[in-house]
């Protein structure tokens, strides 16, 4: 019975992951196919109409995200299948030893039967001197036969368990290798999508008309964010599980949301190429892809998802109409309605919605008014800053909160 249960358990290790994961893998690949098709369509619109840059960028970023999500799943599958193969391989010596002991026991019985001859058991029975002795010998013979049947059945079950374990280990190795192969394919696909993004941005930078159109789109994206935050003020926010420290009292004390230098400051600048005044409503941290992004203060997640011009974005409500905005995120660690404590991770640095590679865009809003985050961060919270390069925002992403206005007289 134990050996049969082992056979069933071993086979379950082989079949269950494959059966469970097949539908999910097909759904993931279909989602990626649709994302790539959407990217192609939006780039075609942009090429044809010289407009819709942010839509095209968002479509590329979503295709990259879909490919990387599948890659992450395949990486987990490879690790799980590898662990299963190692576990099964570790069982094989015990199963082989157990089978060998049973085989030796069977060999001993075969030798014993051989020595008694073809009529040995019958002679043993009929050599009885009395009826009682006859019955006792028949009983003993019956027990020996039952023992031999059980021994043979155990041998067959243990052989099946060993064969099943070997087959399951081989299947797990095959799943691991397949997952690793698909992992490489999806990562390569993500890199192809990123290359498409760089090609698109290069085309924009080489065309004045497209750059000007991009600035208009960025201004519209900044207005859309303002409207979004204004709408949050009119909606009832979920009650936090504990009273919040008044955000206004934290001015000059906040930690940086990420361990990186500020590469784009808050405020008004004159665009070197178009001679327009550009107002940056937040700051950019020159962080590394995958760096953790933390909540600077406790609050409730009022938005977590894709936002045109800002990529993946999180808006935290800190009470008293104070909000923080974190854009260009890669992975999100929170969802709508979550309460997060100060210092808790809300996502990781990415380049979604960014025209300048991985970075974190960060805003603080009092109501709908943007305030300078550097005035709220603790001294030394942000690392050494450099003077912004005017070329950085000649066609900056909406995540910079940039709005072009007529030049000052």
8 and 104 part of one domain: yes
Structure token pair of residue 294: 């933390």
* Bridge partners, 349 (sequence order): 329
First to last CA, the chain: 92
The pLDDT of residue 215 is 80
Number of residues that this document lists for the chain = 409
CATH number at 298 reads 2.70.70.10
Residue 316 pLDDT: 97
Residue 337 lies in a domain: yes
Examine residue 251 and state whether it is found in any structural domain, yes or no.
Answer: yes
> Residue ranges of the alpha helices (H) in 52-130?
53-116, 120-126
Q: Give how far Cα 312 sits from Cα of 114, 242, 333, 348, Å.
A: 79, 28, 11, 10
Domain residues for the domain of 373 are 239-405
| DSSP bridge pairs for 303 | 315
Cα angle: 242, vertex 226, 316; to 5 degrees: 20
Is the sign of the CA dihedral 59, 192, 286, 215 positive or negative?
A: negative
144 and 271 share a domain?
no
- In this structure, what DSSP letter does residue 279 have? E
Contact 299, 244 (CB under 8 A): yes
CA distances from 162 to 11, 95, 106, 171 (A): 11, 6, 18, 14
What's the structural domain count of the chain?
2
Residues 58 and 146 in one domain: yes
pLDDT at 214: 83
Beta bridge partners of 370: 365
Q: How far apart are CA 398 and CA 325, in angstroms?
A: 13
Is 257 in a helix, a strand, or coil?
Answer: coil
How high is the pLDDT of residue 21? 64
Cα–Cα nearest to 10, from 105, 94, 78, 73: 94
199 and 259 fall within a common domain: no
Which tokens hold the place of 75?
Answer: 């990486």
Structural domain ending residue among the three candidates 203, 227, 248:
203
Choosing from 150, 177, 203, the residue where a domain stops is 203
Q: What pLDDT score was predicted for residue 317?
A: 95
Both tokens assigned to 403: 């709005």
d(CA 54, CA 107): 78
- Paired tokens of 193: 């999508």
CA distance 301 to 295: 10
pLDDT 10s per residue in the chain (409 long)? 555 555 555 555 555 555 556 777 888 888 888 998 988 999 888 888 878 899 999 999 999 999 999 998 899 989 988 988 888 888 888 888 887 887 787 777 666 655 555 545 555 555 555 666 555 555 565 666 676 677 778 778 888 888 888 888 888 899 899 889 989 999 998 999 989 898 888 888 888 888 888 888 888 898 899 999 989 887 877 788 878 899 999 999 999 999 999 998 888 776 565 455 667 899 999 999 999 999 999 999 999 999 999 999 999 999 999 999 999 999 999 999 999 999 999 999 999 998 888 999 999 999 888 999 999 999 887 764 444 444 344 334 444 444 333 323 2
Q: Indicate whether 378 belongs to any domain.
A: yes
Question: Is residue 215 assigned to a domain?
Answer: no
Nearest to 285 by CA among 319, 309, 259: 259
Identify whether 334 is part of a domain: yes
- 316 and 368 in a common domain: yes
Q: What tokens does 208 get?
A: 């004045």
Asked whether residue 220 is domain-assigned, the answer is no
In a domain, 234, yes or no: no
In a domain, 150, yes or no: yes
pLDDT given at position 404: 35
> What SS3 string covers 13-60?
HHHHHHHHHHHHHHHHHHHHHHHHHHHHHHHHHHHHHCCCHHHHHHHH
Tokens of 363: 């805003």
Whether residues 136 and 72 fall in one domain: yes
Rounded Cα distance between 257 and 381, Å, is: 9
User: Is-contact 247 366, C-beta < 8 A?
Assistant: no
Please check whether residues 311 and 396 belong to one and the same domain.
Answer: yes
Regarding whether 65 and 165 lie in a shared domain, the answer is: yes
Please tell me the distance from the alpha carbon of residue 316 to that of residue 342, in angstroms, as a whole number.
Answer: 11
């Amino acid at each position: 019975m134990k050996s049969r249960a082992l056979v069933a358990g071993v086979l379950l290790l082989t079949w269950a992951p494959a059966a469970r994961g097949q539908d999910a893998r097909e759904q993931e690949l279909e989602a990626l196919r649709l994302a790539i098709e959407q990217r192609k369509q939006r780039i075609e619109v942009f090429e044809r109409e010289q407009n819709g840059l942010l839509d095209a960028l968002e479509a590329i970023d979503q295709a990259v995200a879909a490919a990387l999500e599948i890659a992450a799943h395949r990486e987990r599958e490879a690790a799980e299948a590898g662990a299963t193969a190692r576990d099964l391989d570790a069982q094989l010596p015990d199963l082989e030893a157990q089978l060998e002991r049973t085989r030796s026991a069977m060999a001993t019985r075969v030798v014993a039967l051989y020595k008694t001859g073809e009529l040995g058991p019958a002679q043993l029975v009929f050599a009885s001197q009395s009826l009682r002795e006859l019955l006792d010998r028949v009983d003993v013979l019956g027990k020996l036969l039952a023992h031999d049947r059980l021994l043979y059945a155990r041998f067959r079950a243990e052989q099946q368990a060993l064969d099943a374990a070997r087959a399951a280990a081989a299947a797990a190795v095959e799943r691991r290798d397949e997952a690793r192969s698909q992992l490489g394919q999806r990562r390569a696909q993500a890199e192809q999508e990123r290359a498409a993004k760089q090609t698109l941005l290069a085309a924009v930078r080489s065309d004045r008309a497209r750059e000007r159109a991009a600035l208009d789109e960025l201004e519209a994206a900044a207005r859309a964010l303002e409207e979004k935050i204004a709408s949050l003020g009119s909606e009832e926010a979920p009650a936090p599980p504990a009273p919040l420290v008044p955000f206004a009292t934290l001015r000059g004390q906040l930690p940086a949301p990420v361990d990186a230098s500020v590469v784009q400051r808050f405020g008004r600048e004159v665009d070197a190429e178009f001679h327009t005044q550009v107002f940056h409503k937040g700051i950019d941290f020159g962080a590394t892809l995958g760096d953790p992004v933390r909540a600077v203060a406790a609050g409730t997640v009022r938005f977590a998802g894709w936002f045109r011009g800002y990529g993946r974005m999180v808006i935290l409500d800190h009470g008293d109409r104070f909000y923080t905005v974190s854009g260009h995120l890669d992975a999100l660690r929170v969802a709508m309605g979550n309460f997060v404590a100060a210092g808790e991770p809300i996502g990781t640095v990415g380049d979604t919605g960014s025209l300048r590679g991985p970075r974190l865009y960060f805003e603080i809003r009092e109501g709908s008014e943007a305030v300078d985050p550097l005035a709220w961060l603790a001294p030394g919270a942000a690392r050494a800053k450099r003077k912004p390069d005017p070329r950085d925002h000649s066609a900056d992403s909406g995540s910079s909160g940039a709005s072009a206005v007529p030049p000052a007289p």
